Chain A
Amino acid sequence: MKLLFFVLNKEELLEELLEAFLELNISGATILDSIGMGAIITHDIPIFAGFKNLMQGSRPANKTIITVIEDHMVEKVVREIERIVGSLNEPGNGILVVIPVEKVFGFRKPFQPEN
């Protein structure tokens, strides 16, 4: 199993991303309202206000999606994320971290397709 930690910069793509997760049989995820460090530094700390130009293209807020998936799903999920948000090698599309999971507790069973 893997923990997927995805910071989605373009919040307007959240619905499509979650729909894709459902299609991939990922039936649960936790979505957090989040803010990048750069946005806080340049907007909320007055001394760094002169560096707003460095933050061009960044957004005031983003969404962080956390979910656990089976190992064999990683490639598929990453491909789908990139199809929706664009290449993760391009700045501004998002940040994805995939971490090995030792154990999980409290999960319900994934949705089973109906026959």
Chain B
Amino acid sequence: MKLIDVLKPEYIKYPLENQTKVEVIQELIDLLGRQGVIPEKQAILDAVLEREKIMTTGVGNGVAIPHCKHPDCADFAIALGIHPEGVDFQSIDNQPAQIIFLLVGPEDQPGLHIRLLSRISRIISKEETRNRLLQLTNPESIYRFFKEEEAKFFEINA
């Protein structure tokens, strides 16, 4: 399995239009909702915000990876939004988040959930990669970018 299997060009948004953390998460949930990927948008938002209470998913360097498990999610899905100005995510380095991934998935596959989070984190951990991503302005090119970047990694066991 690869990230690219669950991140489709239709799940990518440039630019994100909202200005607060909750609104931006909502914007990404709406994006998945419109594609029919998630069943109940409010339940997903609640679950994502519940996870944020444990510790922010603003992991620093302009990256945030809000995520949740939910019993109504039949499958994993990743949405990605780019916010060129950055949005306050209460990130661990206090820097605004520009690259925001939303990962939702079923409740009974925590192992795969961790592997997908880990893969996102590894791909995006290099400054040079983030800078190249932030040059891109349309979903198709962002999707191709991830496809090329992930080709450098092994397949994740589903």
Contact = CB atoms under 8 A, between A and B. Distances in A.
B59 to A, nearest CB: 5
B65 A47 contact: yes
B73 interface: no
B57 A47 contact: yes
A51 to B, nearest CB: 6
Nearest to B60: A46
A87 B110 CA distance: 27
Q: Could you tell me the dominant secondary structure of chain A's interface residues?
A: helix
A96 B153 CA distance: 32
Contacts, number: 26
A50 interface: yes
Given A46-B56, A46-B59, A47-B59, A54 B121 contact: no
A49 interface: yes
A49 B59 contact: no
Interface of B: 51, 54-57, 59, 65, 67-68, 92, 110, 113-114, 117-118, 121
Given A46-B92, A51-B114, 12 more contacts: A46-B55, A46-B56, A46-B59, A47-B57, A47-B59, A47-B121, A48-B117, A50-B51, A50-B55, A50-B67, A51-B110, A54-B110
